[in-house]
Chain A
Amino acid sequence: MTGPSPRLSPKAEGAKRKPARYWLQLAFTLAVCAFLVVPVFMSILAGLTQNFFVGLNSGLTLRWVGEVWGLYSDTIWRSIGIALACLACTIVLGVPAAYSLARARNRLTRWIEELLVLPVAVPGLATALALILLYGTWREFRASWLFILVGHVLFTLPFMVRSVLAVMMSVDLAALEEAAASLGASFPRRFATVVLPNVRPGILAGALMVLTLSMGEFNLTWMLHTPLTKTLPVGLADSYASMRLEIGSAYTLVFLVMIVPLLVAMQWAATRMERKGA
């Protein structure tokens, strides 16, 4: 997105007078953008107005945000905790798995790759039902936040693996490792001092993705949660169904404040990776 314009011929006259098609396309693109942005803007506004039905004249307030904090702060902390735990699990499981897929390219590893993506290809509802049917009778597990964590790890692991694998395939790991080995470095040492530093951009991009997905996961979580293990998106659904519009909006605003920085960081990491040619 940062390169020069892909047009080959310098259209000098085009700069002066654009064809009607250009303006039509611009208007269309702006309309699409309005469709995507206007409701977000409305939601933010609704979360900050005294009375959304009266309109802005009723005045701006942080009252609803305060009420959300009082009602739902536990879901916010729980979601952050689950997202961080999920990140730890995907790094511990995913980075070695990606290494394995990168170093041994054969039919077996391609199968493994296919398998690990299944929880993303199949609707979360199916995965959640399957987990409940097999482990639902194990009361302590079913009632704990770990039950939700398992679902989140299943769903986010492929993203971490893919992100790390992409970087691993772009650097010549085999040659780097061989060089280190010829200097007498043992495997754990090579992994820690050669492999990991080289794939850091992939881990970073994957980590941001995992955090964003886990914070927003609903399809699985709605089935896996209990009244005592509500996460942020579960609380959102709850507030949309049973609270006044202003509270739902203020809650959405809290969610946006948490998720948008992650998204921005994710895009920054992705462009940085692209520039490095990964």
Chain B
Amino acid sequence: MHRSATTATPGRAATSAALALALALAWLAWGATPARAQMIMGITTNSFTPGSSTNSLDVTLTNTGTSPTTIAGFSFEITAASNNVTFEDVTVNTVSVANIFAGNSLFGPDIKLNVSNNGQTISGADNFATPYGGTTLAAHQTLGLGNVLFTLSPSTPLAPINITFTPYPTSSVSDPNANNISVGVAAHPQFGPTSVPELPPTALVVTGLLLGVGVSLRRLGLAKLLTRLGSH
């Protein structure tokens, strides 16, 4: 029995209560949080070239749960946090993963709904063509909802751009019986240049040592060569 926990001083008890309340409020504010939802919408960058109009990203849906779930319809809306981006279109031609309704899209190939906010916001929606049909997303499987085409201004920095998903009901998923399926968003969704993996510090040290050794050996070899040449 941890009686000591219940006999804390009033000040500490008040602090604990305040902390508990804050945590509870944070939990409530979290609401439809990404982590709790089984279905997660995310972003995958396919191409990102400043000055080009042929860039694209995929909006994806991942089943993070442990049971398969069948999807019959979806909608999403994304907003880029940069006016260097101009969204142009949404199609079913996802690149990074297969399209969720491949061969059974009701509205494809073009599934764009609206472009607004000077091209920084775009939405798309599609449905499984056959009534009461759908595509089953296995546990941990990811499929593509839409391929979003966009233009980047020439001055776009080579850095990730944050994305915001408009919440329910604008971004939503339904099952074959037209029930809503709770959907969340990947943490900090963004798109941008494919990042070059950074070397860990130890690797940098090893690389530096190898370079140093290499230079030393080369100098040694050069000295020996000069010595031989001199002896002749």
A associates with B: no
Which residue numbers of B lie inside 8 Å of A, CB to CB? none
Which residue numbers of A lie inside 8 Å of B, CB to CB? none
